[in-house]
């Protein structure tokens, strides 16, 4: 998940967002409730590790237990993979062209 902070005061929790625009040209305007500054959020996908915008799109499965311990794909999510930082995962995606495994599998609560 991308962390968003206010460029003026550094606040990272008391932020409100509002989406505008037609599909394909959406913008998100963020307002800091602490200092009341507003800005348009940059929606360009970037690598959270190195910051490059040279990322590749892939799908990752979201799984849940469907019966007992049986895991089933419930949905998919788009992930952005950096050729430098996520090289191994990107190679798996390019070879298989099937959804990547989730980062974490569901487990029983204690």
Between 97 and 51, the more confident residue is: 51
pLDDT of residue 107: 64
Tell me which DSSP letter residue 14 carries: S
pLDDT digits over 20-76, tens only?
A: 988 888 899 999 999 999 999 988 899 989 989 999 999 998 888 777 777 777 888
Tell me which DSSP letter residue 100 carries: B
Between 58 and 109, the more confident residue is: 58
Backbone angles phi, psi at 37, to 5 degrees: -85, 150
| 1-43: CATH architecture | Single Sheet (2.20)
* pTM of the predicted structure, to 2 decimals: 0.65
Tell me how far apart the 2 most distant CA atoms of the chain are, in Å.
50
Residues of the chain with CATH 2.20.25: 1-43
Does 110 score more than 50 pLDDT?
no
């Amino acid at each position: 998940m991308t962390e968003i902070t206010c460029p003026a005061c550094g606040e990272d929790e008391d932020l409100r967002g509002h989406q505008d625009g037609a599909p394909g040209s959406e913008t998100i305007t963020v307002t800091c409730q602490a200092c009341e500054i507003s800005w348009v959020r940059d929606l360009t996908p970037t690598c959270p590790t190195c910051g490059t915008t040279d990322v590749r799109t892939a799908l990752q499965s979201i799984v849940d237990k469907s019966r007992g311990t049986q895991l089933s794909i419930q949905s998919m999510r788009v992930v952005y993979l950096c050729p430098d930082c996520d090289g191994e995962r990107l190679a798996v995606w390019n070879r298989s062209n099937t959804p990547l495994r989730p980062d974490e599998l569901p487990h029983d609560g204690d």
